[in-house]
């Protein structure tokens, strides 16, 4: 599975395009972010990617979870989003939490 690492300075439209592109090709992608601003950017990108895909009659769903990792000897919490195409959704239908 491909991994997209989102930083606080990541451009939301670029990340959304990458998420949508990988989902179109592979059907699943992992998105990771560390820190409040990076998690915010990741979530905005997920919503934008959902809108991109919804216009094509597809939808996405994701499962968030926390991971602990060591970076430069310090324990950090990673927000991980396991993202996939939701075959049960159609155009105009939104998963809980998504809206136009």
Q: Domain residue spans in the chain?
A: 3-85
Phi, psi of 47 (to 5 degrees): -65, -45
- The pLDDT score that the predictor gives to residue 4 is 97
Average pLDDT over residues 3-11: 97
Question: Which residues are 60's β-sheet partners?
Answer: 85
Strand, helix or coil for residue 32: strand
Please say if the pLDDT value at position 96 is more than 70: no
Per DSSP, the three-state class of 51 is helix
How long, in residues, is the chain?
A: 100
> What is the predicted pLDDT for the residue at 91?
53
Residue 37, pLDDT score: 96
* 30-68: pLDDT as tens digits: 999 999 999 999 999 999 999 999 888 888 899 999 999
Instruction: Please tell us whether the domain made up of 3-85 is placed in CATH 3.30.110.20.
Output: yes
- As a whole number, the mean pLDDT across the chain is 89
Query: What token pair was written down for 37?
Result: 């601003």
CA distance 21 to 14: 11
């Amino acid at each position: 599975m491909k991994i997209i690492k989102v930083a606080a300075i990541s451009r939301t439209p670029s990340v959304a395009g990458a998420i949508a592109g990988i989902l179109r090709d592979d059907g699943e992608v992992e998105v990771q972010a560390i820190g409040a601003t990076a998690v915010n950017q990741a979530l905005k990108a997920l919503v934008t990617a959902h809108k991109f895909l919804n216009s094509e009659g597809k939808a996405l769903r994701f499962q968030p979870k926390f991971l602990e990792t060591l970076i430069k000897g310090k324990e950090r919490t990673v927000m991980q989003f396991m993202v996939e195409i939701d075959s049960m959704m159609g155009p105009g239908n939104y998963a809980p939490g998504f809206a136009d």
